[in-house]
Each structure stands twice: as C-alpha cells, then as structure tokens.
C-alpha cells in the first residue's frame, strides 16, 4: 500500500499552550508520512518544543477558520489533508487509521468522534454528557462517543480527513462563515457531486477539551443564533431537531397567553414541562447511571436549550450580527 502524505491543518488565534500540547501529541503518531501546518492570527513569544516532524507556521491576521484551512490546503502540497482544532489532540493511530480508510474510500470525507480530555473537571464532563443528549445535539449525538461506524450527513471540522484534490475540486470552505462552516461545505460538496459520502469511524477519535458551563451555554447561544443554517430542510425528519427548543418555547408561551382559565393554564403548563423532563431523563439514563450526574446533566440540558432559544431570538431580531462573532470567540476560549 502506498503511504500517502498528510497535511494536518490546525487553525488558531495564536500559539497557545493547548496548541503546543496538540503539536507535542503528534510526536506519538504511528504513521510518519505527514507534516503539520498551523495558521495563526498573530505570533507570540512562546517557544515550540522539539518535534519529530515538519511544522509549517503561517501568519495570516484576523481571518475565519475557513480561510485558514483553505489557505493551508492551497499553499502546501500533500496527498491527503486532516483537520483538527488547536484545543484537541489525536490518538496515536489517528493518521494510520485515516490512511487505511481513505485508501478504500478515496471519494469520501471521513472523521470520527471527539472525546473529552481524560483530566476534565466534573463540570466540563457534565457539559460533555449534555452534548451526548439527543435534546442537545439531536441525531448527530453519536459524534460525542465511540459509536458504531456509519455513513452520515456531515461531520465536524475538528476531526476531518479527505483527499486534497477532492477538497480543492469543490472550492474548499466558505470563508465568510465562522459558525457551521463544516456543515455548509459538506452539503455543498454533496450537492455538486451526489456520489460523495461522509463516513464516521470510531477509530478516528480525537480528544477535545470541553468547555465549562458558561462557555458551553455561550456556544449554544451562538448555535441558536444560526438556526436557519443548522436546520436542513432536505433531510429526514431528524434534521428538524434544532427546531424543537423553539417549538417548545412557542407552545409554552401560547398556553401561558391564550388560555384564560388559570387552573387549566397551570395544569397544561405542568403537564407540558413534566413531559419534556421525562423525555430528557429517559434519554440521559441510557448512558448515565449515577444519580448526581443524571440530575446535573438534566439541568445543563435545560439550560442549554434556554440558551439556544435566546440565540433563536437573536437571529430573528437581527441582533446576532452585532454580537455573534465576539461571543463565538469567547466561547472558544478555554481560559
């Protein structure tokens, strides 16, 4: 089997301690035919430890993650490309497994789950478990743990691999998008060439640092403000899951405002809220057994959906264009 060369691309604001950790972890990769390209807004005085592979450092100023990824793909030649985030790191077989899968699926986009760091705090782990809930990430929640291999609609750019020529053939990522750019470019690729498939494999897992509660809720708010783009009206009914928080909110407000009888209003509201909580709880206990964790995650799932609804309101009122980018950048900062 020909060992094709990978260009591992990591966009970041600057050379953070998390990015240095990501770079150091690549010293352990079993597959050696690769180099890494980091694309930064600005340089700083942090020193890069010794690496046993080639590292390209590019400074491009304040640009979107999409621009940075496109730039790195175009500037440096390789057979294959792999995307990972600066606050993540790959397991030692990541590139080896990627090469093996792409040798059989060269017309496909592949990726795997993003798992929490082994040393995450209780709060961060509970936010991770909240993302495993169908009532937060919907039918795509399998990307948060080692689920069975499958073809899927799209995968996140924090863990993505493909042939370089395939990426360039369809124009790369939309450089004007900073939220949901991965979803947009995969859908555009598939629309231009329906034969392209997206393949999820649990062997392609990476470890991704989880946010604390406040940053997690900020992220959900930003996603909520991008409701139209993250809802796919062309796929199966599961694709409408992002609308559930908004629909629930509309039903709640309608009961509160339209029912005149206070007793009937109270009964309907209690029934409605309890029904939602039972559904959330039923989903959580499928993967958690500890009572403290279950109750904590249930609370976070509810808070996440409230934040998502606030984001929906930002989109409908046009406020999101004033705050969305700053809020997104703050939500990505793990300090």
pLDDT at 308 over 80: yes
How far, CA to CA in Å, does 86 sit from each of 128, 207, 208, 253?
18, 11, 9, 41
Q: Is the pLDDT of residue 147 over 70?
A: yes
> Could you write out the DSSP letters of every residue in 86-143?
TTEEE-TTHHHHHHHHHHH-TTEEEE--EE--TT--HHHHHHHHHHTSHHHHGGGGGG
Where residue 237 falls among pLDDT bands split at 50, 70, 90?
Answer: low
Q: How confident is the model at residue 231 (pLDDT cuts 50, 70, 90)?
A: low
For residue 2, the model assigns a pLDDT of: 72
Lowest mean pLDDT among 109-123, 153-167, 228-242: 228-242
Name the residue with higher pLDDT: 331 or 196.
196
**Confidence band of 70 (pLDDT split at 50, 70, 90):** very high
pTM of the model: 0.88
**What's the rounded Cα separation, in Å, for the pair 27 and 32?**
9
What does the pLDDT average to over 54-83? 96
Task: Provide the pLDDT for residue 176.
Answer: 85
CA atoms within 13 A on the CB side of 85: 19
For residue 79, pLDDT over 60 is answered with yes
Of 259 and 297, the one with more pLDDT: 297
pLDDT for 151 beyond 80: yes
What are the pLDDT digits (tens) for 106-146?
678 999 999 999 999 999 999 999 999 999 998 889 999 99
CATH superfamily placement of domain 6-112+155-210: Spore Coat Polysaccharide Biosynthesis Protein SpsA; Chain A (3.90.550.10)
Computed over every residue of the chain, the mean pLDDT equals: 90
Query: How much is the pLDDT for 236?
Result: 62
Region 158-181 average pLDDT? 89
* 9, pLDDT greater than 70: yes
Report pLDDT digits (tens) over 174-212: 998 877 788 888 988 888 888 889 999 999 999 999 999
Write the CA distances from 313 to 148, 164, 249, 276, 310, integer angstroms.
36, 39, 11, 21, 5
Instruction: To the nearest 10°, report the CA torsion of 178, 181, 183, 188.
Output: 140
Q: What is the pLDDT of residue 83?
A: 98
Residue 109 is predicted with a pLDDT of 94
Buried residues in 125-134 as b, exposed as e (16+ CB within 10 A): bbbbbbbbbb
Q: What is the pLDDT of residue 326?
A: 60
Query: Domain boundaries in the chain?
Result: 6-112+155-210, 237-332
Q: Is the pLDDT of residue 329 over 70?
A: no
């Amino acid at each position: 089997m020909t060992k094709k060369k990978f260009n591992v691309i990591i966009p970041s604001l600057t050379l953070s301690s998390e990015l240095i950790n990501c770079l150091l972890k690549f010293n352990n990769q079993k597959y050696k035919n690769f180099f890494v390209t980091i694309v930064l807004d600005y340089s700083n005085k942090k020193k890069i430890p010794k690496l046993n592979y080639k590292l390209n450092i590019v400074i491009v100023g304040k640009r979107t993650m999409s621009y940075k990824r496109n730039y790195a793909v175009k500037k440096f030649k390789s057979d294959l490309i792999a995307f990972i985030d600066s606050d993540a790191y790959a397991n030692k077989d990541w590139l080896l497994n990627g090469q093996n899968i792409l040798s059989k699926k060269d017309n496909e986009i592949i990726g795997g789950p993003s798992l929490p760091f082994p040393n995450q705090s209780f709060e961060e782990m509970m936010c991770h478990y909240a993302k495993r809930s169908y009532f937060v990430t919907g039918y795509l929640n399998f990307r948060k743990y080692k689920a069975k291999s499958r073809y899927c609609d799209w995968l996140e750019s924090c863990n993505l691999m493909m042939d370089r020529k395939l990426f360039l053939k369809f124009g790369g990522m939309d450089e004007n998008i900073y939220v949901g750019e991965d979803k947009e470019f995969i859908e555009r690729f598939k629309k231009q060439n329906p034969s392209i498939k997206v393949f999820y494999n649990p062997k392609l897992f990476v470890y991704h640092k989880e946010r604390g509660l406040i940053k997690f809720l900020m992220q959900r708010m930003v996603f909520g403000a991008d409701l139209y783009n993250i809802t796919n009206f062309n796929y199966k009914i599961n694709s409408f899951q992002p609308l559930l928080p908004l629909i629930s909110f509309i039903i709640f407000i309608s009961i509160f405002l339209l029912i005149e009888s206070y007793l009937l209003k109270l009964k309907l509201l209690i029934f409605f809220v309890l029904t939602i909580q039972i559904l959330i709880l039923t989903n959580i206990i499928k993967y958690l057994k500890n009572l403290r964790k279950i109750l904590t995650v249930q609370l976070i799932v509810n808070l996440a959906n409230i934040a998502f609804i606030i984001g929906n309101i930002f989109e409908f009122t046009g406020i999101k264009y004033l705050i969305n980018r700053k809020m997104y950048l703050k939500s990505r900062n793990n300090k």
